[in-house]
Structure 1
């Protein structure tokens, strides 16, 4: 039997013909599926844009809030509950519904945008201690301007919510994070200090802000620092809050006795302070008890921080210290720290604010 006769008999076999037909159909389906996958990849690469926003980016919360306001047909939601306490003591509760984990769709300027909020259950944001999240936007077209416009609208919406309020920041890991909701600005006149001291500090700060060129022309570091001292409850923190509201500045609060705070991290944080912010270092007397005789001092303060006194001085006035910075420090026990400051720091004015010390004209 020749090869030709063999294939002729196979071709006349109905079982072989059916099997070969099924094989052909399967191969064609596999090729079609592969072709569709390749085609979709090429289409997404050339005709679709994707923007990924990680949870650590500042625009992440802005974007979620914007989607909450504009994507009204989203069905899968998460709730964020916030409390606002009025001056009368009454507490108002509000609920914000934001897109939950999953896929959502909305239109923006006539363009459909696919939103996928993804949460990694096995990956944590080490600074926040929460699962790592990303929001991915996908839109048709190649015009990146649509994303710029959307993010700009989200930023403007966030700024509107902060209008007329004081934003508080706190150190989280190696960066500053907004702490709570923006607070209503406190009038400067609501804090009573001795002999118009508040107005003198305000005038001094405004003079500093208005004259950066004066510092540059003379080669003087452009930074300003103040030490407020007095017993608990005398209005140190309240005055700083009111001053920030008067200047329309935010406040970055840092506790030097925080566990895990080191000289390196302190310098890193101070180099990343948001613009138009007042840095507040509270209770500096509690951070350096190892320099003194700690007899009779509460043991609760001991060993809480790895910040050294020399590290603090380098942060304030060292080579790597940041420019264009306003810093306030508070202490309940002036005698514990000012005596340890270099003589060049303890310069005029030195007043009993309830109480106030301006640390040097060039800083401080």
Structure 2
């Protein structure tokens, strides 16, 4: 002990204790500084109370929003989108073109096998359309059978195609929610996305799709029927019917065709004089005289389609009629068949299926044809079997510019029909003369030599049916003439004369 009574600490122990305290201090400092920012924040009372976490959440939200805005800005700068709705005509064109384009690429893949060119490598790396939808179209053949044609088109979903040097993402979206029962198809859209640098490929692509669609219907006539809010193609395009396939009485077809062609060439003449550019025609006469057949042949002659409108159809109202006549497909003849029936066959009671009949009024039809809201650049054909039921206000000039009667088969028409079916067999017209004599005998044709008028009439449809039944059989056609006369009653003298005439014909 020292003088103060304190025992001295060994020097070795004092030095060790100092080192231990120093190490503890250094470890504490290292722990406070080396733990990093997170360690310091975790030891901070305010941070652990929630303020720090809220700040980090806000920072993360701002960062995420910034990334989204940056991505959106980058997309706007580098990408371009084009949207097509199902109501646009190019919708069907593009689907068909895309199917054709994929087939061409697959064919190129087969041809490039074994060739180590860069183009073949790119073709192999190009994604293909994997999700397909099937579209079925039924076609009735002349023998009555129905042939089904199946087409595979890109289905809903995302696809990637390569057109020229551009890669294009195609997204077909179909609405899955319920749609009105009168709407035949759900709502669909197609969105095309590519680099802004390749934006020019869209115009080239749609031009190519349109040309492909035109080639598919070239030489054919399309028939349109009303849909919910527009028109829909009915069945497959039909082969154009030649104008000479319909035999009207002498000069009638030439007069109608000449008037229609003059109208189509006079658009500027109408505009210069402030006259509405539309033309109306009324074809009337007994059933089977070729009214509808001639309109179909005329459409083929002037390269037009036909939009058939039934005024007695379910759900037809004045407003819908006005809308349909405003949205007529381009280059189409509007056909109003049996125009008189819309106002004579109205139902007074609701049927079992809930159909009460059309609600088209006479004034609504007049306004649709030439009212203030009626469209221009339009050709309208009305047909009726009973012209006496047509109101004079409907057939006045401006609504109906030409009225043509198509009657029963005349002598001139019968001769033309005979030459069409049997001209290659009857070069001297011997059998044609016999056929006409038999028609005179049964009173179907007037006998001018005996001043005897015709007692019966025959339609061109019945005449054609007779010739179709007796293909390449002229004698059979002559013998079946009596079947064309209803309730034939021949006395013995007529039978004797008929037998003599048949013996002479033989």
8 Å CA contact retained: 2:271, 2:277: yes
CA distance in 2 between counterparts of 1:328 and 1:342 reads: 11
Q: Relative to structure 1, is the Cα distance of residues 322 and 349 closer, same or farther in structure 2, using a 3 angstrom cutoff?
A: closer
Find the residue that maps to 1:40 and give its secondary structure: helix
Find the residue that maps to 2:376 and give its secondary structure: coil
Question: Which of 248, 252, 258 is 1:203 aligned to?
Answer: 258
Q: Relative to structure 1, is the Cα distance of residues 43 and 91 closer, same or farther in structure 2, using a 3 angstrom cutoff?
A: same
1:322 pairs with 2:353? no
Normalising by structure 1, what TM-score?
A: 0.80
- The alpha-carbon deviation at position 215 of structure 1 amounts to 3.2
1:243 pairs with 2:298? yes
8 Å CA contact retained: 2:280, 2:400: no
CA distance in 2 between counterparts of 1:131 and 1:343 reads: 42
Counterpart mapping for 1:210-249 below 5 A: 210-249=265-304
CA distance in 1 between counterparts of 2:60 and 2:393 reads: 81
Q: Relative to structure 1, is the Cα distance of residues 7 and 237 closer, same or farther in structure 2, using a 3 angstrom cutoff?
A: farther
Normalising by structure 2, what TM-score?
A: 0.59
Q: Relative to structure 1, is the Cα distance of residues 8 and 289 closer, same or farther in structure 2, using a 3 angstrom cutoff?
A: farther
Question: Which of 333, 337, 342 is 2:386 aligned to?
Answer: 333
* Runs of 5+ unmatched residues, structure 1: 356-364
CA distance in 2 between counterparts of 1:281 and 1:6 reads: 99
Q: 2:362 maps to what in 1? A: 309
- The alpha-carbon deviation at position 289 of structure 1 amounts to 2.2
Q: 1:360 maps to what in 2? A: none
- The alpha-carbon deviation at position 83 of structure 1 amounts to 2.7
- The alpha-carbon deviation at position 206 of structure 1 amounts to 1.2
Question: Which of 81, 87, 91 is 1:56 aligned to?
Answer: 87
- The alpha-carbon deviation at position 181 of structure 1 amounts to 2.0
- The alpha-carbon deviation at position 262 of structure 1 amounts to 1.9
Q: Relative to structure 1, is the Cα distance of residues 342 and 139 closer, same or farther in structure 2, using a 3 angstrom cutoff?
A: closer
Higher strand share: 1
Q: 1:261 maps to what in 2? A: 316
Q: Relative to structure 1, is the Cα distance of residues 335 and 57 closer, same or farther in structure 2, using a 3 angstrom cutoff?
A: same
CA distance in 2 between counterparts of 1:142 and 1:345 reads: 53
Cα distance per residue 1:112-160 (max 9 Å; x no partner): 1111111111153776343221111111224532211111111111111
Question: Which of 92, 101, 106 is 2:161 aligned to?
Answer: 106
Across the two proteins, how many residue pairs are aligned to each other?
342
Find the residue that maps to 2:324 and give its secondary structure: helix
Counterpart mapping for 1:160-179 below 5 A: 160-179=215-234
8 Å CA contact retained: 2:279, 2:378: yes
Question: Which of 232, 240, 246 is 1:191 aligned to?
Answer: 246
Higher helix share: 2
Between stretches 240-249 and 207-216, larger displacement belongs to 207-216
CA distance in 2 between counterparts of 1:48 and 1:274 reads: 34
1:47 pairs with 2:78? yes
- The alpha-carbon deviation at position 350 of structure 1 amounts to 4.5
Structure (1 or 2) with the larger CA radius of gyration: 2
1:159 pairs with 2:214? yes
CA distance in 2 between counterparts of 1:151 and 1:309 reads: 43
Q: Relative to structure 1, is the Cα distance of residues 284 and 37 closer, same or farther in structure 2, using a 3 angstrom cutoff?
A: same
8 Å CA contact retained: 1:123, 1:132: no
CA distance in 1 between counterparts of 2:182 and 2:197 reads: 35
Cα distance per residue 1:51-90 (max 9 Å; x no partner): 1111111111111111111134311111112233344556
Between stretches 106-115 and 133-142, larger displacement belongs to 133-142
CA distance in 1 between counterparts of 2:387 and 2:206 reads: 47
- The alpha-carbon deviation at position 240 of structure 1 amounts to 0.8
8 Å CA contact retained: 1:270, 1:321: yes
Q: Relative to structure 1, is the Cα distance of residues 18 and 6 closer, same or farther in structure 2, using a 3 angstrom cutoff?
A: closer
CA distance in 2 between counterparts of 1:303 and 1:109 reads: 56
Find the residue that maps to 2:263 and give its secondary structure: helix
Q: Relative to structure 1, is the Cα distance of residues 191 and 60 closer, same or farther in structure 2, using a 3 angstrom cutoff?
A: same
Q: Relative to structure 1, is the Cα distance of residues 53 and 7 closer, same or farther in structure 2, using a 3 angstrom cutoff?
A: farther
CA distance in 2 between counterparts of 1:30 and 1:245 reads: 66
Larger relative contact order (C-alpha < 8 A, sep ≥ 6)?
Answer: 1
Q: Relative to structure 1, is the Cα distance of residues 233 and 122 closer, same or farther in structure 2, using a 3 angstrom cutoff?
A: same
Q: 2:96 maps to what in 1? A: 65
Q: 1:97 maps to what in 2? A: 152
